[in-house]
Amino acid sequence: MAATEIYPDELRYHSEHDWARIEGDEATLGITWFAQDSLGELVHFEPPDAGATIAKDAAYGEVESVKAVSDLITPLSGEVIEINQKVVDAPETVNEDPYGEGWLVRIRLSDPAEAESLLDAASYRQLLEDA
Amino acid sequence: MQTLLRTPLFDRHLALGARMVPFAGWEMPVQYEGVIPEHMAVRTDSGVFDVSHMGELEVEGPRAFELLQSTLSNDLGRVADGGAQYTLLTNESGGIVDDLIVYRLSPFRFLLIVNAANREADFKWLREREIAGSDVRDLSEEYALLAVQGPRSLERLGLPEAMAFTFSEGEIDGIACMINRTGYTGEQGVELMVPAEDAPQLWDRVVERGVTPAGLGARDTLRLEVCYPLHGNDIGPETDAISAGLGWVCALDKEFTGVEELRLVKENGPQQRLAAFVMEERAIPRQGMPIEGGGEVTSGTHSPMLDSGIGMGYVPAGRAAPQSELTIDVRGKPRRARVVKKPIYKREADPSGGD
């Protein structure tokens, strides 16, 4: 059921293996294929509170596999406007579809210009190759 | 930098795409396909674990029994040739140097299968207490150990049923091995001890028989579901057997190292007890997390069978009874848990009424 390794071109990436899909002044956040593969099957998603303010490069929640806990790093600053309840209820959704059904939160951006500092898909792939 | 040791099956693990991790000085497979599918394979069919990192010590001689009866907690006098026993190596304060299984090969020869991390300490401990007429040897490098566990493990290996905690010489597809009816998963199964050079062939035959390779990740979730303690987490030199719920492997009517201390703990009642608990909220307890009102989590994970966080930890004796409510500090957030009777997971009795 695990998804195949892809890094969609339309997303922006953070070096901590998080992605953002930017749509106007909102963004959807999640973790990359590499992140879910490294962790293994997820069994817990600890989301932020709806309405919480989260700051670029800081932890906004956690995901856990059987063996490991990982902080979620937000690529962009903003206010949490929606949490993916499907992932709260079935965290393995992230492994099955990390860029689709397995998104984690949606935020309203407080500083859309921050997006310029993020990696595009090619740069992120390069980062993985160099690691 | 310390070099990690490798078992004779190292190449097999790499070929299967295992994720290798350092464990007790060894480079071991933590998972192949994934912890959860491997866990489920062992609960529903069968799985094979490379546990060659474990230590094998042999104690031989006319006074081997005497040495072991005075250093191990359980009554070795109850074990016959071909029999095995779960027991503890205890220190003067009643703490647990190691937990192990002792096998009686003959009245004058015993095999101890011990935790990888404690192999050297156990060897040294027994050597220091050696008496004339008993000889302790470390055979760990000569042998590999494969645990084949699960309700279909015997059928897959073509082995007859046998009593738990017995062993015999035998063979699997022509490969001679010692077949031990022991394990660490709560399922029926065997642990196969083979000369190191035969281990890769034995592994291949077992896998060809349809047994799923399983890593240390699943080994940990399986043992925790059935509340088998892990030395270094749940028990250790600072914890005593009575508080850990291991009084049943302590023959307090015989003399062994630390028995006076253990009798006192038993008489006065332990101050704290190792309790098993299930989370009542979505959260995964982890080793070291504080428990409100005293105590801490010694082992914690996500239970694939219960689909819930589970764990064990020492709590004040008054809060250790089943149904007691606990609050675990999960990285700063209070999360509710409930003490349950051990084991946390138990196979439902089959329709014929068996167990």
Q: Check B284 against A69: CB less than 8 A apart.
A: yes
B-interface mutation test, from A36, A49, A67, most B Cβ less than 10 A away: A67
Q: Check A66 against B301: CB less than 8 A apart.
A: yes
Average pLDDT over residues B221-239: 98
Please name the residue of chain A whose CA is at the shortest distance from the CA of residue B310: A66
What is the per-residue pLDDT for B1? Answer: 52
The answer, as to whether pTM is greater than 0.80, is yes
Please name the residue of chain B whose CA is at the shortest distance from the CA of residue A37: B34
What is the per-residue pLDDT for B354? Answer: 38
Looking at beta carbons, which residues of chain B come within 8 Å of A69? 284, 286, 331
| Whole-angstrom distance, CA of residue A75 vs CA of residue B206 | 47
Written as six digits, the tokens of B259 are: 């028995």
E-strand ranges in chain B read 19-23, 26-31, 47-50, 55-60, 84-90, 96-106, 109-114, 135-138, 143-149, 167-172, 175-180, 189-195, 212-213, 272-279, 296-303, 308-316, 325-330, 333-340
| Whole-angstrom distance, CA of residue B91 vs CA of residue B98 | 9
**pLDDT top residue among B325 and A68:** B325
Average pLDDT over residues A24-28: 97
Average pLDDT over residues B38-51: 98
Instruction: Give the CATH number, domain containing residue A82.
Output: 2.40.50.100
Average pLDDT over residues B281-299: 96
A105 φ/ψ sector (left φ>0, alpha ψ -120 to 50, else beta): beta
Give me the CATH topology for the region B271-344.
Elongation Factor Tu (Ef-tu); domain 3 (2.40.30)
B221 vs A: CB within 8 A: yes
What is the per-residue pLDDT for B355? Answer: 40
Q: Give me chain B's average pLDDT, please.
A: 96
Confidence of residue A3 (pLDDT cuts 50, 70, 90): confident
DSSP string, B101-133: EEEEEETTEEEEEE-GGGHHHHHHHHHHH--TT
E strand or H helix at A70, and its extent? Answer: strand A69-73
Q: Do domains B10-53+142-224 and B271-344 have the same CATH topology?
A: no
Average pLDDT over residues A75-97: 97
Average pLDDT over residues B74-89: 98
Confidence of residue B2 (pLDDT cuts 50, 70, 90): low
Instruction: Please tell me whether residue A112 adopts helix, strand or coil conformation.
Output: helix
What is the per-residue pLDDT for B350? Answer: 55
Name the CATH superfamily, with its identifier, for domain B10-53+142-224: Probable tRNA modification gtpase trme; domain 1 (3.30.1360.120)
Looking at beta carbons, which residues of chain A come within 8 Å of B36? 41, 43, 66
Q: Which long-range contacts (CB under 8 A, 24 or more apart) does A125-130 make?
A: A125/A7, A127/A13, A127/A15, A128/A34
Residue A112 pLDDT > 60: yes
A32 lies in some domain = yes
A131 lies in some domain = no
Q: Give me chain A's average pLDDT, please.
A: 96
How many domains in chain A?
1
Which residue in B229, B310, B321, B225 sits closest to B273, CA to CA? B321
Of A41, A44, A88, the CB nearest to B34: A41
- For chain B, the structural domain boundaries read 10-53+142-224, 271-344
Which residue in B140, B121, B118, B124 sits closest to B58, CA to CA? B140
- B145 has which bridge partners? B193
How much of chain B, in percent, has pLDDT values that exceed 70?
97
- Give the structural domain span for A37: 25-114
Q: What is the pLDDT of residues B84-137, one digit of tens each?
A: 999 999 999 999 999 999 999 999 999 999 999 999 999 999 999 999 999 999
Break chain B down into helix, strand, coil percent, rounded to 5.
25, 35, 40
What is the per-residue pLDDT for B353? Answer: 39
Which residue in B259, B303, B256, B243 sits closest to B277, CA to CA? B303
Average pLDDT over residues A12-26: 97
Q: What is the pLDDT of residues B156-209, one digit of tens each?
A: 999 999 999 999 999 999 999 999 999 999 999 999 999 999 999 999 999 999
Q: What is the pLDDT of residues B342-355, one digit of tens each?
A: 999 998 765 443 34
A75 lies in some domain = yes
Instruction: Please tell me whether residue A105 adopts helix, strand or coil conformation.
Output: strand
Q: Check B331 against A62: CB less than 8 A apart.
A: yes
Q: Give this complex's ipTM.
A: 0.86
